[in-house]
Amino acid sequence: MKQPLTLLWLLLLPAIAGADTSLDKGKYLFQLANCYACHTDTPNDGPALAGGRALETEFGTFYTPNITSDKQTGIGNWNDQQFIMAVREGLAPDGSHYYPSFPYPAYRNISDNDLLSIKQYLFSLPPVKQTNKEHQLNWYVSRFLIGAWKILNDFSTYQAPAEHSRGAYLLDTLGHCNECHTPRNSIGILQFADKFKGNKTLSAPDISSGPEGIADWDTDELEDLFSYGALPDGDYVSEHMAEVVEFSTSKWTKEDRQAAIDYLRDH
């Protein structure tokens, strides 16, 4: 009796090991993309990934949605294609546009494979039943205008040549650093001519390699920032950046942090 069981175990092992590896990959990508910080209402000790986190912007307050696998209030009914369309194109399964407070313009360069690994990881976590909150936006902000906004944004973004290094994938795509650290115009389109030069409205500092940015930081200081949130003067980052460090950059491999540092030095 023992032998057939052993044989069965050996036959199943590659599949089990493969599943774990894929889940690990999905978890790591999920951390690189920092999904947790926005989709969890940490200030009010909300349940993981069930949304309800208030994002205060100059356009009003957005409340992030539930991205757990709950079928009624989360994304449990989404198929692979719907997940890809949501994250990369900002389109809900019913075809409506998401507001770009969800950084899909940054996520557009995530590969299919990586996106599906993230989905697989998300769906491996416990579902949470929590209804999404309505956004509270300024009167002029409307969902039906987002289609036009996307066209304008695409036109603007395509002026900037895409980069394909690991650092670019980490910071521009998954880490979506430009969303806070690059200034926007009056309709919220990122101004890539001033890439990483900060956004005063969000109190997000200049992280470019220029004199107002990180030119004076040595590599150890950048590593300290990414690994535990320390600033060069003995202080520590606060608010959203503290969450970026806790839930994302501190989980990155040393090689990825170095790739990110090298990319920052070049911009």
Interacting residue ranges for another protein, rule: CB under 8 A:
43, 45, 200, 203-205, 220, 224, 227-230, 233-243, 245-246, 250
The Cα–Cα gap between 212 and 214 comes to 7
Smaller CB distance to another protein: residue 118 or 241? 241
- Return the biggest CA–CA distance within the chain: 72
Smaller CB distance to another protein: residue 224 or 262? 224
Smaller CB distance to another protein: residue 71 or 254? 254
The Cα–Cα gap between 25 and 113 comes to 10
The Cα–Cα gap between 119 and 136 comes to 28
- Contacting residues for 45 by C-beta, under 8 A, at least 6 apart: none
DSSP category for residue 239: H
Smaller CB distance to another protein: residue 37 or 260? 37
We find the least distance from the C-beta atom of residue 43 to another protein, in angstroms, to be: 7
We find the least distance from the C-beta atom of residue 239 to another protein, in angstroms, to be: 5
Smaller CB distance to another protein: residue 107 or 196? 196
We find the least distance from the C-beta atom of residue 118 to another protein, in angstroms, to be: 24
Phi, psi of 148 (to 5 degrees): -65, -40
Token pair for 208: 């470019």
We find the least distance from the C-beta atom of residue 56 to another protein, in angstroms, to be: 12
We find the least distance from the C-beta atom of residue 151 to another protein, in angstroms, to be: 32
Q: Are 249 and 237 in contact (CB under 8 A)?
A: no
